[in-house]
Chain A
Amino acid sequence: MKKILLLSSFMAILWVAMSFSVCKTSKEKLMIDVYNFVGDDMLRLDTVTYKNELGQSFTVTNFKYYISNITLKNTNGKEYKTNTYFLVDEADAASKELTLNDIPDGTYSSVEFTLGIDSLHNCNGAQTGVLDPVNGMFWAWNSGYVFLKLEGKSPASLSPGHIFEYHIGGYKSPNNCIRKINLTFDHSFAVNENEPNIWVLRADVSEILKTPETIDFSKLSSVTDFHHATEIADNYKDMFDITHVGYKK
């Protein structure tokens, strides 16, 4: 009898302790809303004409890219890794709301993510969800994901129909186009139940066309394999910035 009492009180203490530890670290749902821009203007597919660095006008017909493995770093230097894969498609509004579940409460100072897909998931065989090859972001002949697709039209392009198309992928050296994006915030962002927990990720198409390599549509209108791919990857490396939204959605 004594033994049973002892055991049950021990269990009770254990249960209380466990429930405390669960309460201690609350977790939130964090939304990252993606907005694609061209310079200062919001990207509009097909209808709006923009200009590149060389003054060549262009429209964008298709813009898709993978964002994966988002990692948040808090002000104490602690990292919170998520095993996440998102395919952002300008034409699909739902794809521009990235949801991260179970983000621990805290104050975060930077975020790191991958533009593209890690080499493991490039070699994983048949996959589903955003990694399903039916999404048109998979190369079969040289297996691996297309990390970013930017397609459009420019009178400067000498391709049939004056189109340009940049399909950038490749996870193997020397044609590795995976780029780690590291964004440190000016002010750290708190994540807790009182915050809106919505961040805005801004991607600028014009950055894909400049620095370090200025893209001339008349000279380079098509990149669909490893030729010139890393040049564009080095360009898209700095196309992102992130801000905090101060209102509840």
Chain B
Amino acid sequence: MWVIKNKFVFIFSILAVTLFVFNSFVDDNPYFKITAKDVELKIPQGFPKPFYTFKNNKLSADVFMLGRKLFYDPLLSGDSTISCASCHQRIAAFGHIDHALSHGINGLIGKRNVSGLENLIWKDTYMWDGGVNNLEVQPINPITNPVEMNETLEHDVYKLKHNKQYVMLFNKAYHDTIINSERMLKALTQFTGLMISANSRYDKYMAGKDTFSNAEKNGLVIFRMKCANCHKEPLFTDNTYRNNGIKPDTALRDLGRAAITGTDRDVNTFKVPGLRNIERTYPYMHDGRFRNLKQVMDHYANPEDYDTGADLSLHKIGKLSEKEKSEVIAFLKTLTDTEFLYDKRFMDPDMRQ
């Protein structure tokens, strides 16, 4: 028989067919398919009006899928080793698990702890110092930072224009052949902007659909009395900049908000972070100095050790007993949103993570 006579040809064709099928599986895995319904913007009950509204960035499934591809692609970095997802890991609520300061390209270390990504459209500014004024231009920072992805925006656009798969994806998303930084950034924004976390046990408890243990209930009471002034519900931040009492790290010499405003009173102030999924985003603080929530509680409950410029509202906290600390921690863990963490829309369809 012909096939048997040419058994190499036979094996080769089997291999080719298998590869083809596998490739198309990876590209069009129906499990990761995004539909129009997946990209509807739904404002959770009780959430305020978002700052970022997608007004000039019409949500669509194809643009979202392009953004997802870009988010997980190390192509965007200078040497194709670091993607957005390298430091924004889904299992860590898009923070960098177990890294106080992230290492970027060539093993270089940054100067701030990676923030988790969630409910970004309710932020008026981005970064610990609030230097970024619009979600769409946020990715330019990690892309161009020499210790993060060390690439130019211009070269990223060049690489995308010369990549067959991206040419196809941009075409699908925008129905023409234009590839530019605006579209690249807007696609990323659709992906990160829809990362909305509002289905934690806390949310269900508030909606009367779940119950809290006594410790969690007590923790919520203490939290509202002592922490909620800055970590305001339901986003658990009031979007202000404050000195949270930790003493400045003399090696980092990070001025915080003052580096943006040039104002003395902003020295050592940093943006109040939201606390949703906090259980997953360890370590904590802008420089990642605390490894666990117990250390965070110990800091806040010890006013004698506060930095001299500490925000006055911190003095509301006063002393906390060990029991109270553990109750607050129990409450904070109710902010973990497993539906968000395992939402397939935000997973890497190529499963590189």
Chain A residues packing against B (C-beta within 8 Å): 122-128, 132-134, 138, 140-144, 175, 225-227
Contact B157–A134 (Cβ < 8 Å): yes
Chain B's nearest CB lies how many Å from the CB of A193? 36
Tell me which of B127, B134, B262 contacts A125 (CB under 8 A). Answer: B134
Tell me which of B131, B141, B154, B182 contacts A128 (CB under 8 A). Answer: B182
Chain B residues packing against A (C-beta within 8 Å): 56-57, 127, 131-137, 140-141, 144, 152-154, 157, 180-186, 189, 259-260, 262
Tell me which of A132, A143, A225, A226 contacts B133 (CB under 8 A). Answer: A143
Contact A123–B133 (Cβ < 8 Å): yes
Query: What residues of A have a CB within 8 angstroms of the CB of B185 in the complex?
Result: 125-126
Query: What residues of B have a CB within 8 angstroms of the CB of A126 in the complex?
Result: 134, 136-137, 181-186, 189
Query: What residues of A have a CB within 8 angstroms of the CB of B133 in the complex?
Result: 122-123, 143-144
Query: What residues of A have a CB within 8 angstroms of the CB of B137 in the complex?
Result: 125-126, 133, 138, 140, 143
Ordered by A's residue number, 17 sampled pairs between the chains whose C-beta atoms are within 8 Å are A123-B134, A124-B56, A125-B135, A126-B182, A126-B186, A126-B189, A128-B181, A132-B182, A133-B181, A134-B152, A134-B157, A140-B137, A141-B132, A143-B132, A143-B133, A143-B134, A143-B137
Chain B's nearest CB lies how many Å from the CB of A116? 16
Contact A140–B141 (Cβ < 8 Å): yes
| Bound: A139/B139 CA distance, A | 12
Contact B56–A142 (Cβ < 8 Å): no
Give the interface SS of chain A, mostly helix, strand, loop or mixed.
Answer: loop
Query: What residues of A have a CB within 8 angstroms of the CB of B57 in the complex?
Result: 125
| Bound: A37/B189 CA distance, A | 42
* From A127, A144, A227, residue with most partner B Cβ within 10 Å: A127
Contact B181–A134 (Cβ < 8 Å): yes
Query: What residues of B have a CB within 8 angstroms of the CB of A134 in the complex?
Result: 152-154, 157, 180-181
Q: Which residue of A lies closest to B127 (CB)?
A: A141
Query: What residues of A have a CB within 8 angstroms of the CB of B260 in the complex?
Result: 142
| Bound: A225/B129 CA distance, A | 15
Q: Which residue of A lies closest to B131 (CB)?
A: A142
Q: Which residue of B lies closest to A132 (CB)?
A: B181
Q: Which residue of B lies closest to A128 (CB)?
A: B182
Contact B131–A143 (Cβ < 8 Å): yes
Query: What residues of B have a CB within 8 angstroms of the CB of A127 in the complex?
Result: 182
Query: What residues of B have a CB within 8 angstroms of the CB of A138 in the complex?
Result: 137, 140
Query: What residues of A have a CB within 8 angstroms of the CB of B259 in the complex?
Result: 142
| Bound: A15/B181 CA distance, A | 45
Contact A140–B181 (Cβ < 8 Å): no
Tell me which of B132, B135, B140 contacts A133 (CB under 8 A). Answer: B140
Query: What residues of B have a CB within 8 angstroms of the CB of A122 in the complex?
Result: 133
| Bound: A20/B345 CA distance, A | 58
Query: What residues of A have a CB within 8 angstroms of the CB of B181 in the complex?
Result: 126, 128, 132-134
Given A126-B183, A133-B137, 12 other A-B contacts at CB below 8 A?
Answer: A123-B134, A124-B56, A125-B137, A125-B189, A126-B182, A126-B189, A134-B152, A134-B157, A138-B137, A142-B132, A143-B131, A143-B137
* From B137, B180, B186, B260, residue with most partner A Cβ within 10 Å: B137
Contact A141–B131 (Cβ < 8 Å): yes
